[in-house]
Structure 1
Amino acid sequence: MTTTALVTGASGFLGGHVVAELRAHGYRVIAAGRNAAALPTGGPTLVGDLDALARTDQPADLVIHCAALSTPWGAWRDFARTNITGTERVLTYARRNGVRRIVHVSSPSIYAAPRHATNITENEVDAGNRLNNYIRSKVAAEALLHRARREPGTPEIVILRPRGIIGPGDSSLVPRLLAVEEKIGIPLFEGGRALIDLTSVQNVATALRLAAETPGIDGEAINITNGDPRPFRNLIDALFARLGRTPRYRHLPTKPLYAVAGLLEAVYASLPGRPEPPLTRYTLSTIAYSQTLDISKARALLGYTPQVSLDESLASYAR
């Protein structure tokens, strides 16, 4: 019997790859998202936001919840509405339509802190992390799902935390780097030696499929990366080499700039429209400090093995 999976955020970067991965493995996929023009073709679609999804009668066996507001800066109400209330809406849909498992895409941003940390395990979460509103909302969404597991009628829930997703179609991570390089040059802290953990988008899609299929993992939270952390400067040099360009760097001191970033956040938060500061504490934390994830749980529980290398992802993005 064919398994039906509904993918939220299917019009986005990750969601589109997840739809393709599931269809390649025989799933009937319902692609759900707000942007009708960007939804994958070749199967049923649901056009609308997560509020509309909660009112929908469309049976499915699985939900893979990719939809999220993911940005280092923004108003709390926007993150809360999309990432917390939106997750509640997915639960409502799942209970209404007989879904047996939700695979929720969370974020290892919840581990972020201005310090070096390597081989971070899934239980090293600071529930009080307030580095930015995105982190607050993802921590809250995970807590909501764990509470929901105690309620009757809740499907199984599995949480994945993929780190730094890159590859063809990336509209966030690499484009932000390229924009910064063009404006002021790429900030380089301590020579760019900080180890950065990234994940090829195809590997994330595979991990999500495995999380949908693997029995006996209800309630688990699982880190996902390529298992290939590299120094920040090495990654930037490799990317720009494939683009046929030479990156411009700005060597900067870490601690003074962290204080400046905090001041910039306070100033920009008070401006009309709350524009994004040129530097945030979160962004500095992710490139100035080594932060790598332990993926032994993914290997043991899911049988996860990265299939697409970082070099392949950099090359495919450059193409």
Structure 2
Amino acid sequence: MPHQVLITGGAGFIGSRLARRFAENGDDVVILDSLIPQVHGDDPDTTSPSLRLAREHARVVQGTVSSREDLEGVLDGVDVVVHLAAETGTGQSMYEIERYVEQNVGGTAKLLDLLANGEHSVRRIVVASSRSIYGEGTYRTPGGDLVHPPHRSDDDLSAGRFEVTAPGTGEELTLVPTAEDAKIHPSSVYGITKQVQEQLITTVAPTIGVEAVSLRYQNVYGPGQSLKNPYTGILSIFSTLIRQGQPINIFEDGLESRDFVYIDDVVEATFLAATTPGVGGEILNVGSGVATTVNDVVATLFSAFGREVPATVTGQYRLGDIRHNVADVSRLAEVLGFTPATTFEEGVREFAQWVLTEPIEADTYQRSLDEMAARKLLK
């Protein structure tokens, strides 16, 4: 039987491609999306390629998860909900606190409240959580113990001590992949809201007969991601600067790392989480399992675009940023039988080819940095 699927935030980068995947499977999809200008531009009908893709494969309703009425209008007959709707800028979340909490936490609460207090046909919810809930993630001490260190201090960062060390002893730690049972201690408002989203759904859903699956996305990238949003996604930001011939400012020492996972792999993992029998209650990392430094990001982009711009390691830093990130994805393979396979080099080539087909966006990145600096979050 085909599924009746609701994707909140489904006109965005991940959701539009997920809608296509469901449609290819013969499922019926409805999307609820607020189409905010920060992501989709001032005139989404003409400025948002992800909206155009979503409309090819789903019924798109403009609305917000913070509106009870909007949610009620799209839940009829739905048996699978993929809850992607969220504000996603880690840095921006540190000063637009009310907006992030209202949308991410409040919207999730409204969705669950409707399901808990009314008739519905929902049988599974897949929630897009985030690796940001781990904070600094998992490290190993020289003695072999696994630890979850606290957030880096302003004093250390201002002195150029960027690497994570053990509190008290100051001993050097070694990064290891972070598994799903790692300590939860987010270092940003965004991370806190994703933690609460996940916990609300995994706590409430079983009590109302709904299976819950939580996917902790790492750094998702690829063709179709917003080139307009300066608050998230260094691949988009750096690509725009390269096309404009503008210099790139590399924070810290450029050796900070992230787990970049390609959009097609994320879509397939999410589709499987929504449709595979017997996976209710699972919490899964969705990443590549490979840590890539920012210096390597810049070099790979230069190679993919076939041009270079000045790139300066400045030592600047943002409060709330983590140092490293790499996911343990063994549980994903065990539960869903799926392992992301796209290498970073392959994915960036595909991404760059797509970027070159898009208009060169206005430079709004510096404005986002100025906003953070004015609040003493960028130093």
Q: Is the 8 A contact 2:64 2:71 kept in 1?
A: no
> Counterparts in 2 of 1:58-207, with a 5 A limit?
58-72=76-90, 73-74=92-93, 75-94=96-115, 96-113=119-136, 114=152, 115=164, 117-127=175-185, 129=186, 131-149=187-205, 151=207, 153-171=208-226, 172-173=232-233, 174-178=235-239, 185-187=248-250, 189-190=252-253, 192-207=254-269
TM-score by length of 1: 0.81
- 1:28 and 2:32 aligned: no
Distance (Å, rounded) in 1 between the aligned partners of 2:287 and 2:175: 15
Higher relative contact order (CA 8 A, sep 6+): 1
Listed as ranges, the gaps of 5+ residues in structure 1 are 258-278
Q: Which amino acid aligns with 1:157?
A: A
Instruction: Spell out, residue by residue over 1:88-147, the C-alpha distance to the aligned partner (whole angstroms, 9 max, x if none).
Output: 2232454542100000001101123343632101121334x3x22111111121221233
Instruction: Spell out, residue by residue over 1:45-81, the C-alpha distance to the aligned partner (whole angstroms, 9 max, x if none).
Output: 3331112343225211101111110002132211111
Q: 1:178 to 1:45 in 2, by over 3 A?
A: closer
Match of 2:290 in 1: 228
Q: Which amino acid aligns with 1:216?
A: G
* SS, match of residue 7 in structure 1: strand
- 1:303 and 2:364 aligned: no
Q: 1:2 to 1:146 in 2, by over 3 A?
A: closer
Residue 210 of structure 1 and its aligned partner are, at CA, apart by 0.8
- 1:218 and 2:233 aligned: no
Percent identity reads: 24
Q: Is the 8 A contact 1:163 1:225 kept in 2?
A: yes
- 1:11 and 2:24 aligned: no
- Among candidates 55, 59, 66, match of residue 44 of structure 1: 59
Distance (Å, rounded) in 2 between the aligned partners of 1:296 and 1:85: 32
Residue 281 of structure 1 and its aligned partner are, at CA, apart by 1.9
Tell me how large the CA RMSD over aligned residues is: 2.4
Q: Is the 8 A contact 2:14 2:263 kept in 1?
A: yes
Distance (Å, rounded) in 1 between the aligned partners of 2:328 and 2:258: 13
Q: 1:93 to 1:45 in 2, by over 3 A?
A: farther
Residue 180 of structure 1 and its aligned partner are, at CA, apart by 7.0
Aligned residues: 287
TM-score by length of 2: 0.69
Q: Which amino acid aligns with 2:100?
A: F
Q: Which amino acid aligns with 1:170?
A: Q
- Among candidates 338, 343, 348, match of residue 314 of structure 1: 348
Listed as ranges, the gaps of 5+ residues in structure 2 are 36-43, 46-50, 137-151, 153-163, 165-173, 227-231, 354-379
